[in-house]
C-alpha cells in the first residue's frame, strides 16, 4: 500500500508519545553515564559560531566551514572513549533492558583470565550458551531467558548512548573513521570480531547481545575487509607485508563467502524475484526496546485513530485472555507469558498481529527503524525486496570477485562476476523506475513497486550497480531530498526518525561518495558541506556529536512522536564527518 503525505502528517499531529521508561538499578544508571558522554564533551568551547536557524540552501554558495579544531580533537579522542573490551565493567552495561549484567561465552569456550577478573571486579555472572551455534536459530530465544552480552575477543568501538555494543553496519563507518585516524589495529580487530561472530554465533549480528541472535544487519563485511586490507598495504607496501596481508585476505575471503551465503538463504529470499529481503527469525516484539516499551501501544493507538489506512496489523483481543485465548494469541500475535513487552502491547481492545511483528523485526535488521517506508511503522518490511540491500549484495559479489582474483582463483572470480551481473539485471527489472528516474523497493507479495522516495536511491551509485544514465537521472532528483542541513532520509514527514526532516550520517555518506564515483562532484560537495556544517555548528553549541540531525533546521533538535529521541556519541557520525572533511579537501579546486 502507499502511505500518503497527509496521513503521515496526521500521524505527527494526532499521535502522542508518553516516553515511559523502565527504572534500572542505581549502580546501573551510574555506569550508564560513563557510556553516554565523553569526559570532555561538556567543556566550554571558545569558538563563536554563526546562526544555524536558517542555514544556506541548495541555491546558495557552499557554507564556510566553522573552526574545526575542537571537533577534530573530540572525534580523535572519542575512539578511545567509545571503545570497549571484555576487561572493563562499562562494557557490560545495557541501557536498553532492565537486567543485571551477564556475559555469555560460546558453548565449550574456555573462560579467559580477564573475564575471571571482570567477574570479581564487576560482580557479574558468566555463562555459556546452551548449544553450539552454526546458524541463526540454533539457540532459541526461550533458551536464553536472561539477556546478556556475547563475548568478543578483540577491542571494539560502540556507537554511544544506549547502544553499548559492537553493531553490524555502524561498524563499517566506524572502521572508516578509525582508518582515517590511523587506528588500523583497532579497525582490524573489529573485523576479526565479525569473523568470530560468524564462527560462533552463526552470522554477523545486529550487535553482540543475546537478543540479537535472530538477525543480522546490512551486509557490509566485504567493504570492511577491503578497507582494512587497503590500509594495511598502504602503510607498508613491502613484499613481505603484502604476503602477510594476502594470507589474511585468504582467511577473510572464507568468512565473507559465508556471510554472503547467509543473505542468499531461504529466509532472505524475496519471493521468486531472485532478490533479497530483510528478515528476523524471531517472534513477537523485540526485547531491546524495554526502555521505551510503550512504542507498540503507540502503534495501536495510531492505527485505531486512522481506520482509513488499511493494514493487517491489528487483531481484536481481550486484555486479560483465558489460557485458551492466550494459546491462540501466541500463534496469531505474540506470547505474553514469555515477553513482558508483548504483555504490555495492548490498547483499545486490540493487539498487534504476528505479521506486524515479523515486519517490525525485519526493519530492525535493515537498520532503518523506524519510518513509513515499508507501510505504517514499516510493519511490512519483510514483504519487500529493498533497494539498499540488493545494491549492497551487488557490491559484495563484486568484492568477492576481486578477492578471488587477488588470491589467484580466476574461476571463482568469474563466477562472482556472473552473479553480480545477474543481480544487476534483476535490480533493473524490479527496482528501477525509468519514468521517475529513481530506484524503488518492490513489494513481492503484491507485485508492485513502491512509490516511497527514500535516500537509498543513492545506494546503486555508491555500489556501482547504476548505469551512467541511471546515475544522471538519480542526480537530477537530488533536490527531492536535499535540505539546507544535508540529505533527508525521505520526502515524508511521518514524525519517525528515519523520515523527513531527519538526516543520518550513513545515508549522507553513501549519497556523497556515490555522486563522486559517477562524476557529480559539485553535488557531492554540496551534500558534504551542508551535513558537516550541521554537525560542526551543533557541536560548537553543545560540545557533542549526535546520532541524527534535523536537516531542515540544521540542528540536533530532534522531536519524535515515537521511540527514543536523540543519542550522543556518536560513532558513525564522527566517522562520516572526518570522511566528508577528506572528501571536501580532496575535491577542492586548486587555485590557478
What is the Cβ-side half-sphere exposure of residue 209, based on CA atoms within 13 angstroms? 26
**Using an 8 Å Cβ cutoff, are 39 and 543 in contact?**
no
Q: What phi and psi, each to the nearest 5 degrees, are found at residue 352?
A: -90, 145
Q: What phi and psi, each to the nearest 5 degrees, are found at residue 351?
A: -125, 170
Bridge partner residues of 163 (DSSP) = 160
Q: Report d(CA 531, CA 549) in Å as an integer.
A: 9
Class of residue 206 by CB neighbours under 10 A (exposed 0-12, middle 13-18, buried 19+):
buried
Residues forming the active site: 369, 547
**Using an 8 Å Cβ cutoff, are 178 and 189 in contact?**
no
Bridge partner residues of 442 (DSSP) = 385, 449
Class of residue 345 by CB neighbours under 10 A (exposed 0-12, middle 13-18, buried 19+):
buried
Secondary structure, 3-state, 71-97? HHHHHHHHHHHCEECCCCHHHHCCCCC
Q: Which three cell numbers stand for residue 583?
A: 572528501
What totals of helices (H) and strands (E) does the chain contain, helices first? 20, 16
Which 8-state DSSP code applies to residue 352?
A: E
Which ranges of 90-218 would DSSP assign to H, the alpha helix? 113-122, 168-180, 184-201
> Under DSSP, is residue 127 helix (H, G, I), strand (E, B) or coil?
strand
Q: Which three cell numbers stand for residue 233?
A: 598495504
Q: Report d(CA 439, CA 432) in Å as an integer.
A: 4
Question: Nearest CA to 493 among 379, 367, 372?
Answer: 372
The Cβ of residue 307 has, within 10 Å, a number of other Cβ atoms equal to 8
Question: Nearest CA to 58 among 531, 443, 496?
Answer: 531
The Cβ of residue 56 has, within 10 Å, a number of other Cβ atoms equal to 18
Q: Report d(CA 513, CA 155) in Å as an integer.
A: 28
Amino acid at each position: 500500500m502507499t502511505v500518503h503525505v497527509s496521513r503521515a502528517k496526521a500521524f505527527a499531529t494526532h499521535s502522542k508519545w508518553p516516553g515511559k521508561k523502565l527504572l534500572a538499578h542505581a549502580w546501573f544508571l551510574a555506569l550508564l553515564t560513563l557510556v553516554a558522554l565523553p569526559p570532555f564533551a561538556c567543556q566550554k568551547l571558545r569558538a563563536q559560531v554563526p546562526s544555524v536557524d536558517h542555514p544556506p540552501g541548495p541555491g546558495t554558495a557552499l557554507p564556510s566551514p566553522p573552526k574545526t579544531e575542537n571537533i577534530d580533537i573530540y572525534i580523535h579522542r572519542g575512539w578511545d572513549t567509545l571503545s570497549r573490551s571484555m576487561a572493563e565493567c562499562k562494557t557490560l552495561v545495557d541501557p536498553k533492558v532492565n537486567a543485571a549484567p551477564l556475559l555469555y561465552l560460546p558453548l565449550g569456550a574456555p573462560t579467559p583470565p580477564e573475564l575471571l577478573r571482570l567477574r570479581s571486579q564487576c560482580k557479574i555472572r558468566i555463562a555459556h550458551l546452551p548449544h553450539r551455534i552454526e546458524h541463526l536459530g540454533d539457540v532459541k530465544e526461550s533458551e536464553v531467558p536472561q539477556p546478556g552480552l556475547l563475548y568478543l575477543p578483540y577491542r571494539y568501538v560502540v556507537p554511544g548512548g544506549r547502544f553499548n555494543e559492537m553493531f553490524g553496519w555502524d561498524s563499517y563507518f566506524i572502521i572508516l573513521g578509525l582508518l582515517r585516524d590511523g587506528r588500523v589495529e583497532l579497525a582490524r580487530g573489529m573485523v576479526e570480531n565479525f569473523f568470530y561472530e560468524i564462527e560462533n554465533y552463526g552470522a554477523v549480528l545486529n550487535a553482540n547481545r543475546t537478543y540479537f541472535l535472530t538477525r543480522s544487519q546490512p551486509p557490509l563485511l566485504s567493504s570492511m575487509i577491503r578497507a582494512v586490507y587497503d590500509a594495511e598495504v598502504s602503510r607498508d607496501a613491502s613484499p613481505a607485508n603484502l604476503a602477510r596481508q594476502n594470507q589474511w585476505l585468504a582467511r577473510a575471503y572464507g568468512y565473507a563467502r559465508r556471510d554472503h551465503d547467509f543473505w542468499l538463504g531461504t529466509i532472505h529470499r524475496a519471493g521468486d524475484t531472485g532478490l533479497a529481503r530483510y528478515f528476523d527469525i524471531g517472534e513477537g516484539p523485540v526485547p531491546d526496546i524495554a526502555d521505551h516499551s510503550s512504542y507498540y501501544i503507540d502503534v495501536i493507538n495510531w492505527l485505531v485513530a486512522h481506520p482509513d489506512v488499511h493494514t493487517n496489523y491489528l487483531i481484536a483481543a481481550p486484555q486479560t485472555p483465558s489460557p485458551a485465548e492466550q494459546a491462540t494469541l501466541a500463534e496469531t500475535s505474540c506470547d505474553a507469558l514469555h515477553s513482558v513487552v508483548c504483555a504490555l502491547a495492548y490498547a483499545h481492545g486490540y493487539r498487534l498481529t504476528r505479521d506486524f511483528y515479523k515486519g517490525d523485526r525485519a526493519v530492525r535488521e535493515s537498520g532503518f527503524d523506524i519510518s513509513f517506508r515499508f507501510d505504517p511503522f514499516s510493519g511490512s518490511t519483510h514483504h519487500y525486496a529493498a533497494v539498499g540491500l540488493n545494491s549492497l549484495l551487488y557490491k559484495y559479489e563484486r568484492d568477492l570477485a576481486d578477492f578471488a582474483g587477488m588470491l589467484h582463483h580466476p574461476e571463482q572470480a568469474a563466477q562472482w562476476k556472473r552473479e553480480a551481473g545477474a543481480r544487476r539485471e534483476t535490480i533493473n527489472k524490479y527496482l528501477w523506475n525509468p519514468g521517475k528516474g529513481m530506484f524503488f523497493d518492490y513489494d513481492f507479495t503484491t507485485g508492485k513497486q513502491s512509490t516511497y522516495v527514500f535516500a537509498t536511491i543513492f545506494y546503486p551509485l555508491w555500489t556501482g550497480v547504476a548505469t551512467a544514465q541511471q546515475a544522471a537521472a538519480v542526480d537530477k532528483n537530488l533536490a527531492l531530498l536535499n535540505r539546507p542541513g544535508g540529505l533527508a532520509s525521505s520526502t515524508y514527514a511521518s514524525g519517525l526518525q528515519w523520515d523527513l526532516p531527519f538526516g543520518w550520517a550513513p545515508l549522507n555518506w553513501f549519497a556523497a561518495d556515490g555522486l563522486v564515483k559517477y562524476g557529480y562532484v559539485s553535488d557531492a560537495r554540496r551534500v558534504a558541506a551542508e551535513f558537516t556544517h550541521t554537525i560542526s555548528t551543533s557541536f560548537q553549541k553543545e560540545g557533542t556529536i549526535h546520532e541524527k540531525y534535523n536537516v531542515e533546521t540544521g540542528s540536533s533538535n530532534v522531536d519524535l512522536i515515537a521511540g527514543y529521541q536523540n543519542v550522543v556519541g556518536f560513532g558513525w557520525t564522527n566517522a562520516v564527518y572526518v570522511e566528508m572533511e577528506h572528501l571536501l579537501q580532496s575535491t577542492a579546486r586548486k587555485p590557478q
